[in-house]
Structure 1
Amino acid sequence: MFDESSSDELVAVIADSYREESKLVGRRLAAVAELLGRRTWEAESEDPDCGYMIVTGLQRTSAEVAAAMNLPPGTASTLVANAEALDSRFSKVMAVLSAGDTDWRTVQIILKRTELVRDLSVLAALDSRLSAGVARWQSWSRKRVNNTVDAAVRALDPDAIRERETAEDNRHFDVIPVGNGTAKVDGVLDAESAVIVDEKIAALANGVCPQDPRTLDQRRADAVTAMAQGITLACRCPACSNADTPAPTVDEARGVRTVINVIADQSTVLGIGNKPGYLAGFGVIDAEVVRRMVERATLRVLTVPTVPAEEMRRYQPTAAVERFVRMRDLTCRFPGCDRPAERCDLDHTIPFNHVDPSKGGFTTPNNLKCLCRQHHRLKTFDNGWHDVQLPDGTIVWTSPTGRMYCTAPGGIELFPRMGPPACVEPKARRRNLSRERAKRTARTRERNRTLRPINAEARRVAYAREREIEYRKDRNRQRNTLMFFKGHRHSKSPYMRWVNDPYESETLPPDWQPPPEPPTPDECPF
């Protein structure tokens, strides 16, 4: 394509295409924001207090965007949230992006660093200030853009600048290593060990009563210590803390039974083939790993289960049907969703007839599929989405706008037959996501307000310590110079009388504090 082009022409093509890409991103975000407005209006027409709807306008829009762009649910929700924030909070910055005068990376930084700003007048001032300068940031580093946005936010709304927090406030434990805060638990495990550790931590963390005040992440973090000590995780709710309950024993903790599912071809299990296997909830694993796990595993032949007429008219599937559907689907069957089948519900494609089960909606593999709770609710409570299940397990989805999407069972691509989750009818859980987000923002702003003077004092002390050490080193160098020229004779100069003092330590004790700063005069003396 570019064989006859000069290097300068190639660079020009790269720059022009990058500018056009920014324009396309701006156009896409404008379309997403408009779709969100329409879906929100539809939700409000169905329920005046739409903040507590089961399937909100944001969730409806995220589902359509995920299907159209083949995105995971979390990525699609983030895209919709960014489009909404850019459209409602930074319209002038969005205009600069749509004109191609800045890039999406820079706009993402602006959205991230200003997400705690809530005052409309402050947002308007930031929009005007940042849109006027963002076009000049093309050659800036990410850190420089961060500092510029933070400086603008700090000048208008200091509480919106995130302050460093203590490690205790960020307690977490993840089997897949992540870094966050000043302390982290980090490790790399083999697939089997990772699933076993994750299962045990989840069992310990979920073993406390629902009134425990800790979040799930904090309970998982505390469960690591409990697992290492061989005891169960103690509940911290007032009722359990004040009750005279005996301390947990080692036998109770070891009673946690771990079950993991591995799917493999028969030739791989017998050692006459090297086709990879699949570890449920983790992914594809090598044949050698499969054979190593087979040594202490219970083997089952995975086949399409035969469902008697009596069982197919029950809402809950049998264990064999559940296992087969999970292994067949491997993930949620909604377009773009990759949540593991083990964390999904089993959904009846043709709804189960609770009044007269003999009239259809049977509980059989060809009428069941895996849907995560989010998309199970969407399909159940949003009449805009429709699905049809084909005999081979393929699902044909039709969106509210009439677009069609096909999703095939993941297990069929790896093995000739595959499998299922417990069928749980989704419950109507009403939440106001906007109010919850506003409360989290208010808590973060209050925490920033509290931490700001603490961190400022810590920075002042650290700077003073560095200066004191440098001063001592400099004075010791002066004493060495005096010793070199005059030996042990003292200097008689009226200046720098400290040069005759003994050598000073060039390290400071941990509790060293700088002298207090002199009071600032109320008025200038001149």
Structure 2
Amino acid sequence: MLTEQLFEYPSAAVLIAEIESTYREESRLMARRMASIGDLLSRRTEEAEGVDPDPGYAVITGFARTCAEVGAAMNMAPMAASRLVSQAEALDTRLPMIAELLEDADIDWPSAQLIITRTELVEDHLIEQVDRRLAARLIEWSSWSRRRLINTVDKLVREIDPEAAKERRESAEKRRYVSTTARPDGTAELHGRISATAAAAFEQRISQLAMSVCAKDSRTVDQRRADAVLAVSESRGLPCDCGRPECPARGADDADNGPRTVINVIAGEQTVTGESDDPGYLEGFGVIDADQVREFADTAAAVRLIEPPSVTEEQATRYQPSAEVARWVRLRDLTCRFPGCDRPVARCDIDHTTPFNHANPTAGGLTVPWGLADYCRQHHRLKTFHGGPGGWQDEQLADGTIVWTSPTGRTYRTTPGGAELFPQMRPACAAPAARKASRARDKAARIRRIRNKLREQRPINAALRYRERARRREIDLRKWRNRSRKYLLLFKGGRPSTSPFCPWINEPLEPEELPPDWEPPPPPPPLPDGEPPF
């Protein structure tokens, strides 16, 4: 009983209070982050606008500069960084009252995102009304659902700016896309936004293929629909898996004369031969297991050995890389090499880390694998037009690692994706050179050099000290003699002294500063050993 009381969980009220507290802290942190991004955007925009009043095609806007720095600092893909900067700009310039609610933790970040998205097409001269009226309603609510917030925002938009709702429908049509996302279980998710016409045609074709097999097919309807996507991409029918020779859908897998797709798979040689179960990499998808690698290898049109290409002197001084070098660089990098960017190499440019010298190709920027890297068009332009001092700078190491330096001096390191997955793609380490001397002997030699130098410097330092002491003593003696001459003039009124002990007192005043070239008399020679000094 005592043990149960000692380890009793906190009360539900305490747990709920902690959840609410952390929930509100999250909102406040997001408000601080968005405010900082908005301030950085304003700063970079002012810098970009002050560079050149007519930059032409080479302009790197303040928005692009901010997206690059935010993406690198937060390790975000370019689209995600661009979306975050746009949201920060909207809170800063269009929805300041919503930003205040977020800062006070009266709303959460998902709600703020929803408001930003559904009001992005409202005219600038009308957004202030939406911001004010929406903030007034939210501050009155103690809780709300996502649907309630959507309905409220849409209603205000339709009341204040009905043309924005119409434009949103038209804008959605322009934002058509299709993408795939790799999952860790060997499958992928298909996402997209297409027109209603295309969706209807795709749905009809998928449904026809899914229902074209016989009743003995072992797959569910959902599984057949998923398999039909590949059949559509290869312009063929969906084969039935019943295995019966009399199946009416047996010949449905005959391929049409449609376009073929080239798929690149990277794997170790032992994985392909079945001696290893190390995973491989499917370009455009991600990591796949060894069985999938071997399935691709069995039906592959060609299998190539990947190894660092040899480059001739003529190829190294040519601007365009050879096909072998380009293939190696793309398979080594796999994605854009900018921090946080994950755009595949199929949509990237091969760029020289050190700019190619068109006037004198042998002077630098050689076209060699360790001097090339893949950058998406956005970051390629950023490096080209916003590089150098005050911009982004990159340095490629021998193993393909690229060290980036941001405009604020922060450094980021990106390693090639292919070398991360397949260590054999890294360059071999050089054999260590044999040392000709041991560390103990090196230390002893260093100590001897220091002692010899001190021994040579010792008499020089002693002479300098003797000279400085002699100069100070000579100046003190001159001051004392001048003071004595002044006393003689005071007490005797200019009559000369007849004392035999200081005949120098009748001489004129001496200068109390020594010339730079004044040297003291040489020191007396040392006395023989055993002789007294008197």
Instruction: Check the 8 A contact 2:401/2:414 in 1, yes or no.
Output: yes
Instruction: Check the 8 A contact 2:336/2:375 in 1, yes or no.
Output: yes
Pairwise CA distance, 1:392: 0.7
Pairwise CA distance, 1:165: 6.0
Structure 2: which amino acid aligns with 1:160?
A
Aligned to 2:128: 124
Q: Deviations over 1:363-386 (max 9, x none)?
A: 111111111111011001102000
Aligned to 1:96: 101
**Bigger Cα Rg:** 2
Question: Which residue of the other structure, out of 28, 31, 42, is the alignment partner of 1:26?
Answer: 31
Aligned to 1:113: 118
Aligned to 2:269: 266
Query: Structure 2 CA distance, aligned partners of 1:279 and 1:4?
Result: 48
Instruction: Check the 8 A contact 2:336/2:345 in 1, yes or no.
Output: yes
SS of match in other structure, 2:423: coil
* Structure 2, gaps ≥5 residues long: 1-6, 181-189, 207-222, 238-255, 427-534
Pairwise CA distance, 1:119: 4.0
Q: Deviations over 1:17-75 (max 9, x none)?
A: 11111111111111111111111111111233579653211111000000000100000
Does residue 81 of structure 2 align to residue 76 of structure 1?
yes
Q: 1:146 to 1:98 in 2, by over 3 A?
A: same
Pairwise CA distance, 1:175: 6.2
Aligned to 2:43: 38
TM-score between both structures, scaled by the size of structure 1: 0.64
Aligned to 1:390: 397
Query: Structure 1 CA distance, aligned partners of 2:224 and 2:336?
Result: 26
SS of match in other structure, 1:339: coil
1:72-471 to 2 correspondence within 5 Å? Answer: 72-120=77-125, 122-137=126-141, 139-162=143-166, 174=178, 176=180, 177-178=190-191, 180=193, 182=196, 184=199, 185=202, 254=257, 256=259, 258-297=261-300, 298-383=302-387, 384-418=391-425
Query: Structure 1 CA distance, aligned partners of 2:230 and 2:333?
Result: 19
Query: Structure 2 CA distance, aligned partners of 1:316 and 1:175?
Result: 31
Instruction: Check the 8 A contact 1:175/1:197 in 2, yes or no.
Output: no
Counting aligned pairs with the same residue, the percent is 52
SS of match in other structure, 1:371: strand
Query: Structure 2 CA distance, aligned partners of 1:171 and 1:395?
Result: 34
Q: 1:228 to 1:389 in 2, by over 3 A?
A: same
Query: Structure 2 CA distance, aligned partners of 1:152 and 1:272?
Result: 65
Aligned to 2:468: none
Query: Structure 1 CA distance, aligned partners of 2:89 and 2:18?
Result: 32
Pairwise CA distance, 1:173: 7.2
Q: 1:173 to 1:35 in 2, by over 3 A?
A: closer
Structure 2: which amino acid aligns with 1:307?
V
Q: Deviations over 1:296-353 (max 9, x none)?
A: 3211111111111111111111111111111111111100000111221111111111
Q: 1:44 to 1:3 in 2, by over 3 A?
A: farther
Structure 2: which amino acid aligns with 1:178?
H
Q: 1:40 to 1:27 in 2, by over 3 A?
A: same
Query: Structure 2 CA distance, aligned partners of 1:128 and 1:159?
Result: 19
Query: Structure 2 CA distance, aligned partners of 1:12 and 1:279?
Result: 47
TM-score between both structures, scaled by the size of structure 2: 0.63
Q: 1:113 to 1:51 in 2, by over 3 A?
A: farther
Q: 1:357 to 1:197 in 2, by over 3 A?
A: farther
Structure 2: which amino acid aligns with 1:404?
T
SS of match in other structure, 1:46: coil
SS of match in other structure, 1:174: strand
SS of match in other structure, 1:396: strand
Instruction: Supply the RMSD in Å over aligned alpha carbons.
Output: 3.2
Aligned to 1:8: 13
Structure 2: which amino acid aligns with 1:146?
I
Query: Structure 1 CA distance, aligned partners of 2:257 and 2:377?
Result: 31
Instruction: Check the 8 A contact 2:353/2:365 in 1, yes or no.
Output: yes
Query: Structure 2 CA distance, aligned partners of 1:191 and 1:63?
Result: 38
Aligned to 1:248: none
